[in-house]
Chains A and B, each alone.
Chain A
């Protein structure tokens, strides 16, 4: 399903002294099947944006289209529940939403709510448990006895068990250790590819945005500040610094390298190994030999 925002405004508590404009004239298009990173500093409107994606809120002005579903101030889709079964949202710290007695019951809660039959749920659990890197022995345990990383995987399994077509991830790796972060992102990336999902990743990690996304949208003060391929967006260091965002560390290095040696190495999402080779070649030309 494609996602389209047309001139979306969202104002919290409109017509009150507390009115706060969170999104302003926001337009963008996410083609079905793409992996998009949404980046912006705290308060830039990222969370407000993703709440539109499954109709938790509707635009104050403008329209949001998710596939055939249309959300405007006046219209909410008649089949909102169906939309929510097709758009899975993994909120920040999803493990805080675990509640049931056992891991199995917790994972079943979502699909059950959407009317999936018990037999089908059991089948889906068999699929999602290995997908999120858990073992079936945990199914009978209380989710609250698990480690933080495992709890997060259970919560994610609950979203996946609904079999969404669009997966929205709000900082899914926050608070995990480096290994956990990498495992979770690799997991989402392979799901994205295998299930041909449309993935929307909200992140502060420029490194993850560069690594996984086809398209990056930078938000600032509720508006779109930049949009494009990661290698085009993240190389604009000055523009990013202006809105208090970092660039991925490799780009920062390439910039410093150019300042120091007067030689530009273009950023092409190269590996560290490739970069080392380019640095080596570049210095060799300048007269460093072993």
Chain B
């Protein structure tokens, strides 16, 4: 069995006693070194899950375990060493007066020695392609650049889990791709688990496992291929289906049936090629 890094046991959460439940009896696990995408419409409870994972919020019912430790007021500082989080809006996350100060901030809080800190600033800024901007002030950076710095700041504390809560939503396609490449490299190199909360289907397709949230409950949990096979049902809960899956669906209506559920261009073309050459 793979090591469980995060475990939700019958977790329910609401923002106030009069408020509706945002999460209802959610149970799931995230394993070591795994890449999990969490998708769902706005208000489905995705971001609440992220905030519960590092003790920004506490559940009214159920328990959350990080590396076997229960998350509560006493353990949050331990937990936050292990769970790094990057949010959607980079402007709310920048605290330093320069890029390198900002990356150093998280490490200072954790009492990392200076020597080590310098090394880590270098590695993490290189990883996000921002090393040339070390002395730049944040207001001179674009939104995308700020976000890369935020990711560097988290990487610098080498957490065991990196949560990206719609962290690429504000980036342009190139920036988005760079971040996703960076993040997946780091995930492999540092052996950390990755949780991406996203609407971007290309990010979802890259994940090993997908958790689909709908109205506060776990609607489904499977690999991307299995998830995107449920096209109509996904659309019913307000989610999108990748272009290739839609095209495959239309081709099927014409009588061209794919063997698999293709998720990218190559898979679809490969299937078409096989059909084409056997005829």
Contacts and interface: CB of A to CB of B under 8 A. Distances in A.
Interface string A259-290: 01100000000001101110110010011111
B144 A42 contact: yes
Q: How large is the interface on A (under 10, 10 to 19, 20 to 34, 35 or more residues)?
A: 35 or more
Interface string B21-38: 000000000000000000
Contacts of B273: 260-261
Contact of A289 (B145, B244, B247, B279): B279
Kindly name the residue among A171, A245, A276 whose own CB sees the greatest number of chain B CB atoms within 10 A.
A276
Interface in B130-185: 140, 142-145, 166, 169-175
A204 B175 CA distance: 11
Contacts of A246: 173-174
B223 interface: no
Given A42-B142, A149-B42, A177-B239, A273 B174 contact: no
Contacts of B173: 41, 204, 206, 244-246
A80 interface: no
Given A177-B199, A253-B244, A272-B247, A42 B175 contact: yes
A187 interface: no
A117 B254 CA distance: 59
A276 B251 contact: yes
A41 B42 contact: no
A77 interface: no
Given A41-B172, A175-B88, A280 B254 contact: yes
A283 B42 contact: no
Interface in A224-250: 244-246, 249-250
A283 B199 CA distance: 33
A290 B269 CA distance: 18
A289 B275 CA distance: 9
Contacts of B108: none
Task: Identify the interface centre among B42, B144, B244, B268: most chain A CB within 10 Å of its CB.
Answer: B42
Nearest to B257: A290
B2 interface: no
Nearest to B40: A177
Contact of B276 (A174, A244, A253, A283): A283
Interface residues on B, range: 35 or more
A274 B173 CA distance: 27
Contacts of B170: 92, 171, 174-175
Interface string A143-178: 000011100000000000000000000010011111
A93 B247 contact: no
A179 B238 contact: yes
Given A93-B89, A260-B273, A280-B256, A174 B169 contact: yes
Given A179-B238, A253-B265, A260-B269, A276 B253 contact: yes
A256 B142 contact: no
A261 B276 contact: yes
A256 B267 CA distance: 11
Interface string A167-200: 0000100111111110000000000000000000
Contacts of A42: 142-145, 171-172, 174-175
Contacts of A99: none
A233 to B, nearest CB: 15
A28 interface: no
Contacts of B243: 249-250, 253, 272
A28 B43 CA distance: 41
A31 interface: no
B120 to A, nearest CB: 26
17 contacts: A41-B173, A42-B174, A147-B42, A148-B42, A175-B170, A176-B199, A177-B42, A178-B199, A244-B174, A253-B265, A256-B269, A275-B250, A279-B247, A287-B276, A288-B275, A288-B276, A290-B255
